[in-house]
Amino acid sequence: MPPGGYGWWYVDAISDCGRHGLTIIAFIGSVFSPFYKKSGRPDPQNHCALNVALYGPGARWTMTERGRGHVARDADTLQIGPSAVRWTGDALEIDIEEKDKRVGVPWQRRVAGKVRVYPEALNDRAFSLDPEGKHRWHCIAPRARIEVVMEKPGLNWKGSAYLDSNFGSESLEEGFRVWHWSRAHAKRDSVVCYEGIRRNGQAFASALRFGPDGVPHEEEALPPVAPLPNTLWQMERKTRADKGLASVIRTWEDAPFYARSTLATRLFGEPVVAVQESLDLDRFASPIVQLMLPYRMPRVA
């Protein structure tokens, strides 16, 4: 991974009962780290973090950054502090031992447990998000099952999941101004919509349908844009949907530069529940937001 670069592996999931959700992101060269940005980004492995967000009953959020002395990795395993992500051959196992630790907050809540992600479809094709190939996205498992067994908080559930990864040789804000992303599971296919504006002002958009075999098919005719209400932080959100209609079920994350939500919508004739994200990198790079970030994502010395 070159200086200035990044890599992350992303999991999201919704419980079968619909009451719980989660996202887990393992970062090398943590793209949202104010410490990595301030350092000039010479050493991605010196800025790693496991972001764990639990939504619904027992909600937790943790993202503690650690340096290269607390990181180890090989072809199958990424160890970040006391937590680890490893591929076992048929599942992605995530051992979580973190704390909901924020600067200025007097209490720390332990976040500990094990998550297993079992892909139901695998895709071996990656996509470039820019003409120069500086940012690459790989939907590893468009459809998966998940088992969540948390010791702290005490949670135990199963559900549907999604797994992807992103890699880049420059910072996100050098490549993009904004982007909007969503994924949904239909009865047979999985659908991923990606669009945004690159730093040079060029717009891009795509809609991919993954069959049960995991093979992606790019749709020539994209569903219409479906505007969504702004968040409390006035983050603009939008997605793609049949007839341009979608509604927010729940806003999972509402930050000054980022929003994650679940949506009720229709795609290619089927009603679906989608996980949707919007990211504003001009907001992220602003001095005010950079001053706020260390309170949300502290670094272990």
Confirm whether 13 is domain-assigned.
yes
Confirm whether 245 is domain-assigned.
yes
What CATH number is attached to the domain comprising 234? 2.40.370.10
Residue 89: which domain range? 6-296
Ranges of residues in the chain whose predicted pLDDT is under 70: 101-106
259-266: Cβ within 8 A, 24+ apart: 259/231, 259/233, 259/235, 260/23, 261/228, 261/237, 262/14, 262/21, 263/182, 263/228, 263/239, 265/184, 265/226, 265/239, 265/241, 266/241, 266/242
Residue range 55-73, pLDDT digits in tens: 999 999 999 999 999 999 9
Residue 301's pLDDT is 72
0.85 surpassed by pTM: yes
Confirm whether 301 is domain-assigned.
no
Residue 1's pLDDT is 86
Confirm whether 96 is domain-assigned.
yes
* Rounded Cα–Cα distance for residues 295 and 105 (Å): 9
Confirm whether 82 is domain-assigned.
yes
Q: Is the distance from CB of 222 to CB of 206 less than 8 angstroms? A: yes
Confirm whether 34 is domain-assigned.
yes
When divided into structural domains, the chain yields a total of: 1
Query: SS3 for 53?
Result: strand
* Rounded Cα–Cα distance for residues 164 and 272 (Å): 20
Confirm whether 265 is domain-assigned.
yes
Confirm whether 226 is domain-assigned.
yes
